Chains A and B, each alone.
Chain A
């Protein structure tokens, strides 16, 4: 099982000081956070993609290319890459390039964005959102899986004998997670291709996550990729920890109460009871995270949102120390102990290359 962090990349004022970081400070903080993730032994760093203030990460592969050079083991991913408004040809090229730069430590999470106007900004119509996700991804797959592509579709100019370069590293394209919060169509898409399904559950009750993940698992089996238990599931989560849980609550409350995404609605207590947000001791975070398994089944990737609500960089780095030292080692052991045989590990490039070679050898023998 893989553990990591994902960042939205928002520039949010620290409510305790009123000070907002500059874009430059925020971008540098995200890079520092990613390097810290590797240092404390996490497996994955994923960045969002946004094209509007107060968010800064509009160019994920630029950022991930830098991080690739500064890390050795960290898997670089996105949360999410806009499959609707980005040209699938450019996604194929950018992420294949990043794959080579990072020696295969790359995967991709597709999504449809968090703001309606992003569609017209890129010349698209939001009413085509699902159809864009379907057509663009179908093309992306072909560009990665076939060397020469002739293609005609509804939303993009046709391609004649087109080869996307560079070709995927070792002939194996980046693994793809389909991220969705509430669209069953996307769970269905992930299941159809046998790709991963990431449910970003951070603002949703467990009952909803359970429904979405179960749909994906059933359809994954329906399409013959394995049993429902073998489907590749990822979940989010967001935490704030101190050794003493009361200190965590006291310190985080002003951030919660004023954050654009949390504040001015339910109380911290109500929100933590209804969503995965956990504010407390490392032990409480461990117990809460293990409970995700009760409704989502054995899953492959857990990403935490740590740099939220305007927390200063220093605090986020302290949080990552706690996550890497006290939480994740226990979670690795506990989840591994609970996982039945037959549930696959999280996909990695070396494992997928090995599997592809095995398949082609079998093909030769047959």
Chain B
């Protein structure tokens, strides 16, 4: 299983990356997955060039493919001007429109004060809803002051358990995992009905749900069908 972490932090060290790593660790306590961190800072010019040229560089394509192939996604951005950063939005502007369909996504944001804590709800959540992702109920916002308080750790623990549960629904018994501090859950249990359509949708070689037939890279509707559809009307 694969857990991909997208961090849009810009400084080094970055509190956005720190939150992303904490969320990742909290998730991995409950699920056995291979984590991969994508720092958007290193892809900033590639993303801008994608807008200009219409195609991704090899590096950016690899990052987009990794996100598409992930079993779970953690996406964390600093809050700029009351919302996600432009770089963060730009990355999700160039991703395939079907790449996140049905994928569990844990969203997080960082800011200087608690004043922007609802950015996760009014900015991040609708963005991922538009992309048909399964946005988890707990989003984690960390203001500068939160790094010295207990509440943040609890929210991180809760959020990580939620993501783990939806990444591996069969391994977490129903009713456990959500906010539970009981540690790794075990044993079979009924998984949530995440998205039946997504579960049976065609997947590309990278595992992303897609309209593309993995056999040749493109879906082909036989031409006779297209012609007949026009004639019938």
Contacts and interface: CB of A to CB of B under 8 A. Distances in A.
Interface string B39-65: 000000000110111110100000000
Contacts of A120: none
B151 interface: no
A290 B94 CA distance: 32
A215 B212 CA distance: 12
Contact-residue bracket for chain B: 20 to 34
Determine which residue in A188, A212, A214 has the highest number of CB atoms from chain B within 10 A of its CB, and name it: A188
A270 B56 CA distance: 12
Contact of B52 (A184, A212, A215, A266): A266
Given A184-B219, A211-B217, A215-B217, A134 B230 contact: yes
A54 to B, nearest CB: 18
Interface stretch (A12-20, A104-112, A202-210, A358-366): A202-210
A212 B57 CA distance: 19
Nearest to A212: B218
A134 B217 contact: no
Contact of A274 (B55, B219, B221, B224): B55
B52 A274 contact: no
Contact of A211 (B49, B218, B219): B218
A134 B230 CA distance: 9
Interface string A203-239: 1110010011011001100010000000000000000
Contacts of B227: 134, 138
Contacts, number: 65
B223 A184 contact: no
Nearest to B212: A184
B150 interface: no
A214 B221 contact: no
A223 B223 CA distance: 10
Most buried by B among A189, A203, A266: A266
Contact of B220 (A130, A135, A204, A215): A215
Contact of B221 (A185, A208, A215): A185
B115 interface: no
Contacts of B193: none
Contacts of B231: 153
B53 A274 contact: yes
B55 A205 contact: yes
Contacts of A270: 49, 57
A124 to B, nearest CB: 14
A127 interface: no
A53 interface: no
B218 A131 contact: no
A171 interface: no
Contacts of B48: 265
A264 interface: yes
Nearest to A190: B223
B233 interface: yes
A33 B106 CA distance: 58
Contact of B53 (A184, A212, A266): A266
Contact of B218 (A134, A215, A223): A215
Interface in A267-312: 270-271, 274-275
Contact of B49 (A191, A208, A266): A266
Nearest to B54: A203
Nearest to B231: A153
Interface string B207-233: 000000000111111111011011101
Contacts of A188: 220-223, 226
B220 A184 contact: yes
A187 B218 CA distance: 10
A222 B11 CA distance: 55
A24 interface: no
A335 interface: no
A131 B48 CA distance: 33
18 contacts: A134-B227, A135-B230, A138-B227, A184-B219, A184-B220, A185-B221, A188-B221, A188-B223, A189-B223, A192-B223, A203-B54, A204-B54, A211-B216, A215-B220, A223-B223, A265-B49, A270-B49, A270-B57
Given A266-B53, A270-B49, 8 more contacts: A131-B229, A131-B230, A134-B223, A134-B226, A153-B230, A185-B226, A203-B55, A266-B49
Interface of B: 48-49, 51-55, 57, 216-224, 226-227, 229-231, 233
- Of all A-B residue pairs in the complex, the 9 with the closest CB atoms, nearest first, are A265-B52, A192-B223, A184-B218, A211-B217, A266-B49, A135-B230, A215-B218, A265-B49, A188-B223
